[in-house]
Amino acid sequence: MRILVCVKRVPAPGSRISITADGLAVDTAFLGFTTSPHEECAVEAAVQLVEAHGGSATVLTLGPAEAEEQLRYAASVGVSNAVLLATDGADWDPQRTAAAITAAITAIEDRDGVFDLILFGNESADSGGFQVGVRVARHLDRPIVNGIKGISIADGIATLERPTDAGQEVYELTMPAVAGVKEGINLPRYPTLKGRLASKKVQIAIIEPSAKPGGQVLVRLEPPAELTTSTTMLGNGPDAAAAVVDLLEELGVLR
């Protein structure tokens, strides 16, 4: 079983996002970075599948040299191979990103064999394009379904579960296949000390990506209009209960 998981390095913004003076990027001067949440779960899913079925998991990212941090983190929880498509830090548009990742996957597969399963996050936390995985799957002519919160593998079939408002949908994709994973598919493990040490020894294959820009072009970033201008204080401690219940009556939720 060969599994590839594609991840994105994103800022961890806490409660506030600042924009750079030129309006073209998030000001990350005082921010840490993390793996986009859906993709952190995709990494865990890949590791669990390899634990159950054997084989190996590979992690791939397109991003700045610093994205090595996210690749090493994936290695520290059990991924054995890492690939960095190193950019100069530019935020690549979805078409360009998908073209570069497709080219890298094709090169890796030509050398090492086909990935039975490729996992993406459903969408990235920052730019939220909802499309890179779909485009890569299309380029590779492999089936993909997004919104996946359950994966099991047997007899060359990946059975995928997708929760919806109405319940749950089940898909059966013949591998090689692709899935867009959502947070909630699992609770990602924390790296062990042994895992952290081992991750330092993992070789990172560096590829210089090349792809032409797509048709979505960032002009600038802006803060959204604040919805609430003032907060009405209902009181302090349990003494506020009467005011809270008055409010619930006023809103008509107390029936």
Partner 1 sequence: MSGAVLVVLEHDRGTIAPAALEALTAGRALAAQLGTTLEALTVGSNGDSLVADAESFGADVIHQAHHALLTDYNPEAWGEVVAQMITATQPAVVLATGTDRGNEVLAQAAARCDSAFVANCLTFEPGQPGGTFGVTRVRWGGSLIERATVAGTGTGTGTGTATGTGTGTGTGTGTGTKLLTIAHHAVDASPAANPGAGTATVFEARLDPSVARTMIVARVERPAGVTLATAPVVVGGGRGVGSADGFAPLQSLADLLGGVVGCSRAVTNLGWRNHTDQVGQTGTRIAPDIYIACGISGAIQHWVGAMASKKILAINTDPQANMVTKSDYAVIGDLHQVIPAITAEIERRRAT
| Site membership for partner 1, residue 232 (CB under 8 A) | yes
CA 51 – CA 47 distance, rounded (Å): 6
Query: Which lies closer to partner 1 via its Cβ, residue 166 or residue 193?
Result: 166
CA 105 – CA 100 distance, rounded (Å): 9
| Site membership for partner 1, residue 156 (CB under 8 A) | no
Binds partner 1 (CB under 8 A): choice among 106, 152, 168, 210: 168
Q: How far is the CB of 203 from partner 1 (least distance, A)?
A: 26
Q: How many CA atoms lie within 13 A of 69 on its CB side?
A: 14
Q: Which of residues 17-46 bind partner 1 (CB under 8 A)?
A: 17, 19-20, 22, 24-26, 37-38
Q: In which residue are the tokens 């070789």 written?
A: 203
Distance of CA 42 to the CA centre of its chain: 7
Nearest C-alpha neighbor of 105 from the set 125, 90, 120: 120
Q: What are the φ and ψ backbone dihedral angles of 60, each rounded to 5 degrees?
A: -135, 140
Stretch that binds partner 1, among 50-58, 71-79, 92-100, 103-111 (CB under 8 A): 92-100
**One-letter amino acid of 86:** A
| Site membership for partner 1, residue 150 (CB under 8 A) | no
The SS3 of residue 183 is coil
| Site membership for partner 1, residue 65 (CB under 8 A) | no
| Site membership for partner 1, residue 95 (CB under 8 A) | yes
Q: How far is the CB of 200 from partner 1 (least distance, A)?
A: 25
Nearest C-alpha neighbor of 184 from the set 217, 206, 162: 162
| Site membership for partner 1, residue 227 (CB under 8 A) | yes
CA 172 – CA 143 distance, rounded (Å): 10
Binds partner 1 (CB under 8 A): choice among 29, 30, 155, 223: 223
Q: How far is the CB of 60 from partner 1 (least distance, A)?
A: 19
Q: How many CA atoms lie within 13 A of 139 on its CB side?
A: 18
| Site membership for partner 1, residue 203 (CB under 8 A) | no
Binds partner 1 (CB under 8 A): choice among 119, 183, 191, 209: 183
Binds partner 1 (CB under 8 A): choice among 91, 156, 192, 206: 91
Q: Give 144's strand partners.
A: 178
Binds partner 1 (CB under 8 A): choice among 87, 97, 151, 175: 87
> Under a CB-based contact definition with an 8 Å cutoff, are residues 178 and 142 in contact?
yes
Query: Which lies closer to partner 1 via its Cβ, residue 2 or residue 149?
Result: 149
Q: How far is the CB of 242 from partner 1 (least distance, A)?
A: 6
